[in-house]
Amino acid sequence: MATKVIIDTDPGVDDAMAVLFACLHPEIELIGLTSIFGNVTTNIATRNARVLLELAGSDVPVAGGAQKPIVQASKEVAWEVHGHDGFGTLPPIEPKTLPHRLSAAEFICAEVNKHPGEVVLCPVGPLTNIALALELDPTITEKVKSVTVMGGSLAEGGNVTSYAEANIWQDPEAADKVFAAYWDVTMVGLDVTHQVKCTPDEFTGLAEASPKLGGFLNKISQFYFDFHIEANGFRGCYMHDPAAVISIIRPEFFGTEPKALTVVNDGERVGETVVANDNRPDIAVCLKVDEEAVRSLFLETIKSGS
């Protein structure tokens, strides 16, 4: 039976890869997208999420998320990584569908209560909506199947600063609340996503095999590939968000260690994920990955699309 998943997302180029993968893979039942700031503003994320689902022919709802972090002031969005409108150099696309009437936090709580024990929450942006959902209904910790976070870094260092990974850096207090709660969390951080890369040629292959969906990903990824040259010294891309979604259905592709984590919330190291010394629960931190298996599953799944 397919796994019910809600992806909390800030699309964003690698978010688009993750969302289309989730739409196409038969072992995932995508039951909703919730939008958040990070790569773009929340309003652009809400729009882009609807565009992705329309492209995939999916009628899954999109619930709009928070406009700002739960404590700190908003930080700048990563337009230099994903483009001003989140899809590289593509101009804004206006979707036909409207956002869901519920907020992201309300939608998450409603769906988790409707399907107790079945829903995997997969935040691939800042954890603001997840923290707000926890505040709205603390019992969701007993009802979610699990939480798979794309974010953080234990030994790999950061990508926004030397210490902090982008999703955690955008809302440190929210991330700390998610890591401190008593539920089943897996952290898919830079320790593994920096091992999973794709090349521009592989995306050309996606466009040839899947002109609509693969073609869209190839088009929006060119700007993202260029960013990687200056930031990481190679033309291509890290597969951050697709790796997180893939870990839900192929946990065997990843090696984890139990660690209790907290998040630095001020100073030079703000947003750094570090081992906690309070009595919070361990989470499963991904430290190893079969990068070839992750990459191959992503590529073959997108190629299966139209």
* Active-site residue, selected from the candidate residues 10, 15, 171, 176: 10
Q: What angle in degrees, to the nearest 10, is found between the helix axes of 128-136 and 172-180?
A: 50
305 makes contact with ligand RIB (CB under 6 A): no
Residues 34-53, interacting with ligand RIB (CB under 6 A): 38-39
Does the annotation mark 194 as catalytic? Answer: no
User: How far is the C-alpha of 283 from the C-alpha of 127, rounded, in Å?
Assistant: 15
Is 272 among the residues that bind ligand RIB (CB under 6 A)?
no
Of 14, 82, 240, 241, the active-site residue reads 240
CA dist., res. 229 & res. 221, Å (int)? 13
d(CA 116, CA 92): 37
159 binds, among ligand RIB, Ca ion, none (CB under 5 to 8 A by kind): ligand RIB
> Amino acid letter at 275?
V
Residue 152 lies near Ca ion (rule: CB under 5 A): no
**Distance (Å, rounded) from C-alpha 152 to C-alpha 162?**
12
- The residue among 28 and 166 lying less far from ligand RIB, judged by its C-beta, is 166
Query: Which is nearest to 215 in space by CA: 20, 65, 47, 1?
Result: 20
Per partner kind, with CB cut-offs from 5 to 8 A, the member of Ca ion, ligand RIB, none near residue 171 is: none
CB of 10 to ligand RIB, least distance (A): 5
Minimum distance, C-beta of residue 52 to ligand RIB, in the bound complex (Å): 13
282 is catalytic: no
Rounded to 10°, the helix 128-136/104-114 angle is: 60
Q: Would you state the structure tokens that stand for residue 246, as one six-digit string?
A: 């893939």
Name the token pair of 172.
Answer: 């440190």
Quick check: 271 binds ligand RIB (CB under 6 A)? Answer: no
One of 90, 124, 263, 297 touching Ca ion (CB under 5 A) = 124
Out of ligand RIB, Ca ion, none, what residue 165 binds, judged by CB under 5 to 8 A for its kind, is: ligand RIB
Active-site residue numbers? 10, 240
